[in-house]
């Protein structure tokens, strides 16, 4: 389907993804592209109706001010300048800001409002069928929102040609692998292969403390497991992935320094044998959920809190040990149970515990005990690019604390992380 698009030129502003979301909310598709687009690149972008040039203080890279390319200026398409060479700034008021974007996108660019999930799904089904042909797609099905939505999309597009592989890397939450098998094998009737690779992953991670190395090991090992599974199957040529738009933006565009390499994008080994199918790579998180609902996935699956690919591996800080990993898994299970009891699972976007590789002195049964702290993180966000912390009632925190220090071996202290993103990222590693 023909789809109009507004291009936001990347001049280093942290605001660009927000603007893209605001334009999409008007019903018009929007993407972020480098500031120095050439005429050929512009011609290759489908349906461009206008550009947003969003300046701001990060507009200087290596001492050089970023400029909009001549090709953009000569394209003849409408350009909205904001916060650039003295052009006016964004209005403080949300309604005024929306009105400004609306006037530009709809009146000046005359973009058609055809960006919605029905059209997106219909387009993706066609694109997936065209890309895959009669070959098989292997999907890394973690059971999280992104991979579940990708599974549902692929099932709809290619049915039996989809083979889902659920790898239990030993870094999943309590009860999770069992639930994935139940939902996808029994309820959705997907081809599902379950692989318990706990020992293999924990062996590779032994003694590795650097967060980026841990991510890369987990990502690379994941792909190897898939390759092994693929070799057992006939005709697998593609790997499905739940990469979403913030993964791509945060993994570093030209002006955007790498915040952290999300394992979907950064950790793939060079000898990768598969071609990727990433049908939700254009979507922000809230759009992925809307897509899942449109595909008929149950609401509790679609609104399930996100869980990073490297799983508990990035919450068991530093070099992972089995005993500390278990303490993390148990404390996280208690937190989730108590949040559900208090109804907070419906209002808090992401909540989990972190167990650092440090001990503090405590007292247990009248004797000194050197044990780990469990840190609680509970945040709200729309798109995971920024996040605010959730204010939890004291009695709930007291109950969780009491349960964790009494029920989880090795934990003698519970802390609550009060830091929004920025400066804290949502995960601690």
Whichever of 204 and 421 has its CB closer to ligand XMP, that residue is 421
Which is nearest to 171 in space by CA: 221, 210, 123?
221
Nearest distance, CB of residue 314 and ligand XMP, angstroms = 6
Token pair of 243, please?
A: 């990469």
Gap between the Cα atoms of 200 and 23, Å rounded: 45
Element (H, E) at 164: strand 162-168
Whichever of 33 and 262 has its CB closer to ligand XMP, that residue is 262
> Residue with structure tokens 């497991």?
225
Whichever of 321 and 425 has its CB closer to ligand XMP, that residue is 425
Q: Which stretch binds ligand XMP (CB under 6 A): 20-28, 79-87, 396-404, 420-428?
A: 420-428
DSSP annotation of 107: I
Radius of gyration of the chain (CA): 23
- Any contact of residue 306 with ligand XMP (CB under 6 A)? yes
The number of residues making up the chain comes to: 429
Whichever of 177 and 309 has its CB closer to ligand XMP, that residue is 309
Token pair of 220, please?
A: 């690379």
Q: Which residues contact 274 (CB under 8 A, 6 or more apart)?
A: 138, 223, 226, 227, 230, 236, 237, 238, 239
How many angstroms from the chain centroid is the CA of residue 363? Answer: 40
What residues form DSSP beta bridges with 232?
Answer: none
Is the torsion defined by CA of 125, 128, 134, 139 positive or negative? negative
Gap between the Cα atoms of 198 and 388, Å rounded: 34
- Any contact of residue 215 with ligand XMP (CB under 6 A)? yes
Whichever of 104 and 349 has its CB closer to ligand XMP, that residue is 349
Nearest distance, CB of residue 173 and ligand XMP, angstroms = 12
Q: Which stretch binds ligand XMP (CB under 6 A): 114-122, 131-139, 289-297, 418-426?
A: 418-426
- Any contact of residue 359 with ligand XMP (CB under 6 A)? no
For 379-406, the three-class secondary structure string (H helix, E strand, C coil) is EECCCCCCEEECCCCHHHHHHHHHHHHH
Whichever of 166 and 263 has its CB closer to ligand XMP, that residue is 263
Please state, as a whole number, how many other Cβ atoms lie within 10 Å of the Cβ of residue 312. 25
What is the contact mask toward ligand XMP in residues 309 to 338, using x (rule: CB under 6 A)? xx----------------------------
**Residue numbers 40-79 binding ligand XMP by CB under 6 A:** none
- Any contact of residue 350 with ligand XMP (CB under 6 A)? yes
Rounded to 5 degrees, φ, ψ at 326 are -65, -40
Whichever of 4 and 429 has its CB closer to ligand XMP, that residue is 429
Count of CA atoms in the C-beta half-sphere (13 A) of 335: 23
Q: Which stretch binds ligand XMP (CB under 6 A): 81-89, 97-105, 179-187, 256-264?
A: 256-264
Is 77 in contact with 43 (CB distance < 8 Å)? Answer: no
Tell me the site size for ligand XMP, rule CB under 6 A.
15
- Any contact of residue 281 with ligand XMP (CB under 6 A)? no
Nearest distance, CB of residue 426 and ligand XMP, angstroms = 3
Whichever of 177 and 311 has its CB closer to ligand XMP, that residue is 311
Residue from the set 21, 262, 336, 377 that interacts with ligand XMP by CB under 6 A = 262
Whichever of 136 and 214 has its CB closer to ligand XMP, that residue is 214
- Any contact of residue 172 with ligand XMP (CB under 6 A)? no
**Residue numbers 375-404 binding ligand XMP by CB under 6 A:** 384
Nearest distance, CB of residue 209 and ligand XMP, angstroms = 17
Please state, as a whole number, how many other Cβ atoms lie within 10 Å of the Cβ of residue 403. 17
Residue from the set 308, 313, 356, 410 that interacts with ligand XMP by CB under 6 A = 308
Nearest distance, CB of residue 225 and ligand XMP, angstroms = 16
Whichever of 25 and 265 has its CB closer to ligand XMP, that residue is 265
How far from each other are the two terminal CA atoms of the chain, in whole angstroms?
A: 41
Residue numbers of the site for ligand XMP (CB under 6 A)? 215, 260, 262-264, 306, 308-310, 350, 384, 421, 425-427
């Amino acid at each position: 389907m023909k789809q109009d698009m507004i291009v936001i030129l990347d001049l280093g502003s942290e605001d660009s993804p927000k603007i893209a979301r605001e334009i999409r909310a008007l019903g018009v598709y929007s993407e972020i592209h480098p500031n120095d687009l050439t005429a050929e690149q512009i011609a290759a972008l489908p349906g461009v109706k206008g550009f947003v040039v969003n300046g701001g203080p990060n507009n200087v890279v290596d001492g050089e001010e970023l400029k909009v390319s001549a090709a953009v200026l000569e394209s003849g398409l409408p350009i909205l300048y904001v916060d650039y060479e003295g052009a006016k700034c964004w209005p403080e008021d949300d309604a005024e800001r929306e009105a400004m974007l609306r006037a530009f996108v709809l009146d000046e660019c005359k973009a058609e409002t055809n960006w919605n999930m029905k059209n997106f799904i219909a387009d993706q089904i066609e694109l997936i069928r065209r890309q895959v042909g009669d070959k098989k797609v292997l999907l890394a099905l973690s059971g999280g929102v992104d991979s579940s939505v990708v599974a549902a999309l692929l099932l709809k597009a290619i049915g039996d040609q989809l083979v889902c592989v659920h790898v239990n890397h030993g870094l999943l939450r309590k009860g999770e692998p069992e639930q994935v098998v139940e939902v996808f094998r029994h309820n959705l009737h997907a081809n599902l292969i379950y692989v318990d690779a706990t020992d293999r992953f924990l062996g590779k991670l032994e003694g590795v403390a650097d967060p980026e190395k841990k991510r890369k090991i987990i990502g690379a090992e994941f792909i190897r497991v898939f390759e092994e599974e693929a070799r057992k199957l006939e005709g697998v040529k593609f790997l499905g992935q739940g990469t979403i738009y913030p993964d791509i933006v945060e993994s570093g565009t030209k002006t955007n320094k790498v915040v952290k390499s999300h394992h979907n994008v950064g950790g793939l080994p060079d000898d990768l044998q598969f071609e990727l199918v990433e049908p939700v790579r254009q979507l922000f998180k809230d759009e992925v959920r809307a897509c899942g609902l449109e595909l008929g996935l149950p609401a509790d699956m679609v609104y399930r809190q996100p869980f990073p690919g490297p799983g508990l591996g990035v919450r068991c800080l530093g070099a992972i040990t089995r005993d500390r990993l278990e303490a993390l898994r148990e404390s996280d299970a208690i937190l989730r149970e108590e949040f559900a009891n208090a109804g907070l699972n419906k209002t808090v976007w992401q909540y989990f515990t972190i167990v650092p590789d440090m001990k503090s002195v405590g007292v247990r049964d009248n004797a000194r005990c050197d044990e780990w702290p469990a840190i609680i993180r509970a945040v709200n966000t729309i798109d995971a690019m920024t996040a605010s912390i959730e204010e939890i009632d004291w009695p709930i925190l007291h109950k969780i604390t009491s349960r964790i220090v009494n029920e989880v071996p090795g934990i003698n202290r519970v802390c609550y992380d009060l830091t929004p993103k920025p400066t804290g990222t949502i995960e601690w590693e």
